[in-house]
Amino acid sequence: MPELPEVETVRLGLEKLLVGHTILVETHDTDKGFPNSSSDVEQFLVGAEVIAVRRRAKVLLIDLNTSYTLVIHLKMTGQLVYRGKESFGAGHPNESLIGALPDRSTRVTFELDRGAKLFFNDQRKFGWVRLLPTIEVPNIDFMKKVGPEPLEDDFTPKIFIERIRRRANTSIKAALLDQTVLAGIGNIYADESLWGAKIHPATHVKDVSDAELKKLFTEIQYVLRLAIEKGGSTDKNYVNAEGKKGSYIDFARVFRREGLPCPRHSDTLIVKSKVAGRGTHTCPRCQTIVKY
DNA sequence: CACTTGACCTGTCCGC
DNA sequence: TGCGGACAGGTCAAGT
C-alpha cells in the first residue's frame, strides 16, 4: 500500500509540519518496531531538531541536527501521523476525519516541542523505525542494492530497459516489483502502469519488446506523478502526515476494479488473477500474453 | 545464479 | 451468531 507516491506524500507533509521541531520524548511498545539501544536514543534523538525529511524508494529519512537519521519503512500498514495544536483546534475542518491518537496500532510515539506529537502506527507490525548515523544510511543493505528513482531526471528509458532485462525469465510484473530493478513500484502501480502500456503482467520480460518497455517507462512515470498529485492511494490503511486519505484509487483504471468495465472497452470487464504471488488486475482485451 | 515461495502480522470478509 | 480459512502485499530468508 505505501508505495512511492504514498511515501512521497507523507514526506511532503512531514517536511512542512516536522522540520524545526525538537524531539523531547520517544516511547515504543516493543523493540521489534524500534530496535535501537536506549543510550543511542538518549544521546542522538532526545533533544534533537528535525532539519530535513527525505525519501529513498519507499523509505522515509528524517534527518536530525545530531548527524543521526530516523530511517522508517511503513511496509503495508504503516502510518506516520503528525498532531499539533493546528490539528486539534475545535472546528478544524478535518476534525471529524481525525481519530484519537494514540490508538491500538500505535507502535512509536514522538513527543515534540510546542505540544505536538508524531505517531508511528502499524496494524500489522511489518514496518520499522531505526536510528542511524546519517552518513551510514547509504550503507544499509537495502540502500546498497535498491535501484534508481523512477522520477529522477537521470532515469532514462535506456537505463530502465537495461536493468529490467536482467530479469529476462520472470514475469514483467515480478520485475517491476523487484526493488533492485527500480525503486518504489508496488502492487497498485505495477498493475496500473502495465494496463497503461497494454502489457499483460504475466508476460515474461524476454517476450516484451523494447518499444513496449519504452511505453511502460512512460506509463510508470505518468502513473506515479498522477498518484502523487492525488495524494496517493488509500485502499484501507494509508493516510498522509495529517491523517488524511489519498484519492488516486478513484482514478485507478484496473486496481480493485474487478468486474467493472475497462476504461478502453466499455464491454470488457476487468478480471482479477494472481501473478508473481499477488492479486493482479487486467483487461483481458487490451492486455494479452504475447510470445515472439 | 536466477527465480519462486513462505514467513512475518493483524483485521476483515466469506462460506458453512 | 460463531468459527475457520483465505486474503491483503513489502521485503527478506530459505527453498528449488
**What's the CA A6/C1' C10 distance, rounded, in angstroms?**
13
Q: What cell numbers appear for A136 in the block? A: 551510514
Residue A99: CB atoms within 10 Å: 10
Which CA-bearing residue is nearest the C1' of C10? Answer: A75
Helix (H), strand (E) at residue A72: strand A68-73
Q: Which of A10-19, A30-39, A188-197, A258-267 shows the lowest per-residue confidence on average (mean pLDDT)?
A: A30-39
The answer to whether strand B lies under 7 Å from the CB of residue A218 is no
Rounded to whole angstroms, how far apart are CA atoms A142 and A148?
12
Domains in chain A with CATH codes: 4-145 (3.20.190.10), 157-282 (1.10.8.50)
Q: Specify the pTM.
A: 0.94
Looking at residue A207, the DSSP 8-state letter turns out to be G
Which CA-bearing residue is nearest the C1' of C11? Answer: A75
pLDDT at residue A292 is higher than 80: no
* CB < 7 A contacts with chain C (nucleic strand): A 1-3, 57-59, 73, 75-76, 124, 126, 141-142, 177, 179, 186-188, 235, 272, 274, 278-279
Task: Give per-residue burial for A122-151: e unless 16+ CB within 10 Å, then b.
Answer: bbebebbbbbbebeebeeeebbeebbbbbb
Block residue for cell numbers 552518513: A135
The answer to whether strand B lies under 7 Å from the CB of residue A166 is yes
pLDDT by residue (tens digit) across A271-283? 999 999 899 999 9
pLDDT at residue A86 is higher than 50: yes
Catalytic residues of A: 2-3, 58, 278
| φ/ψ (deg, to 5) at A271 | -115, 155
The whole-number average pLDDT for the span A49-76 is 96
Sequential DSSP letters for A14-62: HHHHHTT-BEEEEEES-TTT----HHHIIIIITTPBEEEEEEETTEEEE
Question: Which residues 59-88 of A interface with strand B at a CB distance below 7 A?
Answer: none
pLDDT score for A97 = 45
pLDDT score for A33 = 78
